[in-house]
Chain A
């Protein structure tokens, strides 16, 4: 608040008060930027922890070992970049008082954001279906093909064998018989303390990408893929840490995308004329930040 003294009436009753903002920007935009500065630190912490954990880890899985697809990641990057453009085009339309165009661009942003989340859901499903996810007290991922791994595999096979063995022979279907035979055969193979044999069996359950070549796209077809009911534990050195960091980073990012989509959906019924340009600008700033985070996540998670 500045005090401008009137030279002709220099006593307290005639002081003119003039408002001057501390920062030359609207309050709403200031709040969004303050929020974004906290978000910078939040995501910098998450990404920083990922980098530090990863490069301090004794081993880190190859992207194909954990069913990551680089082209899908690149596609999602493209989708988010497109959505950033549609937001700025919506803002420009609103500023030009073209409410219809502004709404159309905002709808396009909403659709692109939904596509991003859809692709992310597809990717998550690929991990879940292969047993790659953090779980308490322990996940299906083992860090090495040691005796604990052999024991976990036998336990899983026993869980398949036990209910089938108690069934009367005439009640067993052809499929049951096949499952029982395979589970028994595998249980016998896993009854070993030879670490090389256990590693070979682990490779049969889920062949590592390094065997079929890093650039062959998908990992080799393993027992878990051939017989999805087996759900045998898998060996991915560094896989647990990878799963924890991957789902934390992409999960929080997807949550931010979801919040953005909810805000866009709330704005859709509004008349997006020049009077609403400020709101579009503020929401757009948030959306660009979400895009910005993905710009770093894509190479760090898919290409490093």
Chain B
């Protein structure tokens, strides 16, 4: 068997295993639309957890991971592929997670070691900004430019 024949054989074999046809794609598409709507719902006034942004963030990440799995499994046909899929995707995912974790001490926690001089030139903190805004509101503008 030549390399080309072999490629063709494995390809048709993978395809012959079946993937549910067009109806499945339509269902996945509808599910993706509904899930996008669910993410967008966190922005609407009906979302009950505006006071706790971490709830919305967790919800959105769960929704995004679900959407990603739908795309990977059905549109990219990974559900129907042989076990080689784990060889390529799992190490890459682990390396990505390790990379993010490696960034936390030096970049994520960078503000902990900032000198006072450096903090002065960094972005104004949320608390300081709110305090200043309160003072601005207390001092009604007398000479607004417009």
Contact = CB atoms under 8 A, between A and B. Distances in A.
B121 interface: yes
A29 B14 CA distance: 12
Contacts, number: 210
Contacts of B146: 204, 223, 226
Nearest to A85: B29
A218 interface: no
B79 interface: no
A214 to B, nearest CB: 8
A40 B96 contact: yes
Interface residues on B, range: 35 or more
A59 interface: yes
Given A53-B107, A56-B110, A41 B6 contact: no
Contacts of B124: 58-59, 143-144, 237
What DSSP secondary structure best describes chain B's contact surface?
helix
Interface in A263-277: none
B55 interface: no
B107 A89 contact: no
Contacts of B115: none
Interface residues on A, range: 35 or more
A296 interface: yes
Interface string B49-65: 00001001100110110
B70 to A, nearest CB: 9
23 contacts: A27-B7, A33-B88, A49-B103, A51-B100, A59-B129, A77-B36, A88-B25, A89-B25, A92-B21, A95-B15, A144-B123, A185-B145, A197-B139, A211-B133, A223-B146, A240-B123, A288-B75, A288-B76, A289-B76, A291-B75, A295-B67, A295-B68, A299-B60
